[in-house]
Amino acid sequence: MAQFSHLDESGQVRMVDVTEKLVTVRTARARGRVRALPETLALIQTEKIAKGNPLEVARIAGIMAAKNTAGLIPLCHPLGLTHVDVRCELTREGIELEATATAEGKTGVEMEALAAVSVAALTIYDMCKAVDREMVITEIRLVEKTGGRSGHYLRKD
């Protein structure tokens, strides 16, 4: 049976002790997608969404989410991020999102990258829901991570 690092010997939830871990440069990249109607995408492309540019607002919201992940996910360690990048790209089917988070620390930044993509997607939904309640937030996933004891991970799809 798998050992969960967030459970102690008696099954109680705990924050993982990273005191003895080495400080390394850690990066994580996550992706997600917001599927939207063609009419919605046209409004975004022509900058006719009433609330403003959803891609720019989503980018800023994603950066803010990465910076505040420890306040959103109960057992995440607060990290001093050294860089966060969020990209939002219009495609025929919707908006492709990608976030990269970097820190020098004792624990990884996967949750920060995933939080950035998730909140960016939610922001796009919020800004466009008046014209498209059919939007679907989908495929939020870790794509790559580096640093730490487990080393490099690259998603195979």
Q: How far apart are CA 46 and CA 135, in angstroms?
A: 18
pLDDT score of 149: 86
* Per-residue model confidence (pLDDT) at position 76: 93
Q: Which two tokens stand for residue 138?
A: 């989908």
Residue closest to 125 by CA, chosen among 52, 42, 35:
35
Q: Is 26 left (phi over 0), alpha (psi -120 to 50) or beta?
A: beta
Give dist(CA 99, CA 72) in Å, integer: 17
In angstroms, the CA 59 to CA 36 distance is 18
pLDDT at site 1: 42
Averages of pLDDT over runs of 10 residues in the chain (157 residues) are 68 85 95 98 97 97 98 94 98 97 96 98 98 98 94 93
The pLDDT assigned to 3 comes to 64
Which of the residues are catalytic?
Answer: 126
pLDDT of 17 reads 85
Return the closest-CA partner of residue 97 out of 72, 123, 128.
123
Between strands 94-105 and 24-35, the pairing is antiparallel
Give the position of tokens 């002790």.
17
pLDDT recorded at residue 10: 80
